[in-house]
Amino acid sequence: MRSVAARLAGAIGVVVLAGCGDQAAQTSRAIESLAQVDQENMAELMLAAADPREAVSYFTQAAEANPDRILFQRGLARSLARAGEPGRAIPVWQQVVAHPESVPDDRVELAEAHIRLSDWDAAEAVLNQIPPTHETFQRYRLEAMVADARRQWARADSFYEIAAGLTPRPAGVLNNWGFSKLTRGAHRDAERLFAEALQHDSTLFTAKNNLVLARAAQRRYELPVVPMTQTERAELLHTMALAAIRQGDTAVGRALLSEAVDTHPQHFEAAALALAALR
């Protein structure tokens, strides 16, 4: 607050030196300019660092006080999405996309809010309104998800590939693509994509778990050679054991459960209960 006050005081001092005739107008413009910069900085801070609920409260008040500023409407919509309330975010996003200063990314975020509610028709309708020249990772990631939901596999594969090429951190989208392949029964393709995801981010446990499922679906009941903690190893053995049991390989599943219990650094209740049930 002291820095803001100092900037205001300095700006006003400069304006006074400019002369008396237009002093009031210049002072007003200087204060308004600095205030807008400060609002933008505050908005960025709230989105980046604040608790989602605090951000929702801040942007709700700011949007009510400045109903014409898209900055606060957009901040409110994003804060609601961060707070896990896509249903409340959707009408705010609709106000944002109707604003004359709206950009294509606003429609992308509106489409994502619809996807979070599994409203695929609405998401597809919004994505279709985005110009084809707007080629971003987020847009194609959502296009792939919609195509997946429609079981349009060739279209989904094309969008996943494009999305993976548009980001320096493709692990998440590669994992999603692999899971899509897994649900289709394309287990080898899924295994390849999960392994590729882990090459980009070796800490992504969901990709490790999915990789184990892809291998187990091929009745390959050995853990992949990927970095893992002792706890992760136990959890992956548990995942593989359950997959083996579902496929009728009960003896293999029992052995894997026993290994999971022995491997976990603490008491592994889920694996212990499953093992007891088999016995």
Could you give the residue ranges of the DSSP H alpha helices within the chain? 2-17, 23-49, 52-65, 70-82, 86-98, 104-116, 120-128, 137-149, 153-165, 171-184, 187-200, 205-217, 230-246, 250-263, 269-278
Q: For residues 204 and 188, is the Cβ–Cβ distance under 8 A?
A: no
Confidence check: pLDDT of 33 > 60 = no
Domains of the chain: 1-49 (no CATH), 56-134 (1.25.40.10)
Compute and round to an integer the Cα radius of gyration of the chain: 26
Q: Which region holds residue 138: left if phi is over 0, alpha if psi is between -120 and 50, else beta?
A: alpha
Angle, helices 86-98/70-82, rounded to nearest 10 degrees = 160
- Which pLDDT band holds residue 36 (cuts at 50, 70, 90)? low
Give tens-digit pLDDT for 173-206: 999 999 999 999 999 999 999 999 999 999 999 9
Q: Is the pLDDT of residue 10 over 90?
A: no
Q: Kindly report the pTM of this predicted structure.
A: 0.82
CB-based contacts of 211: which residues, under 8 Å, 6+ apart?
A: 178, 191, 194, 195, 198, 224, 226
Burial tier of 7 (Cβ tally within 10 Å: 0-12, 13-18, 19+)? middle
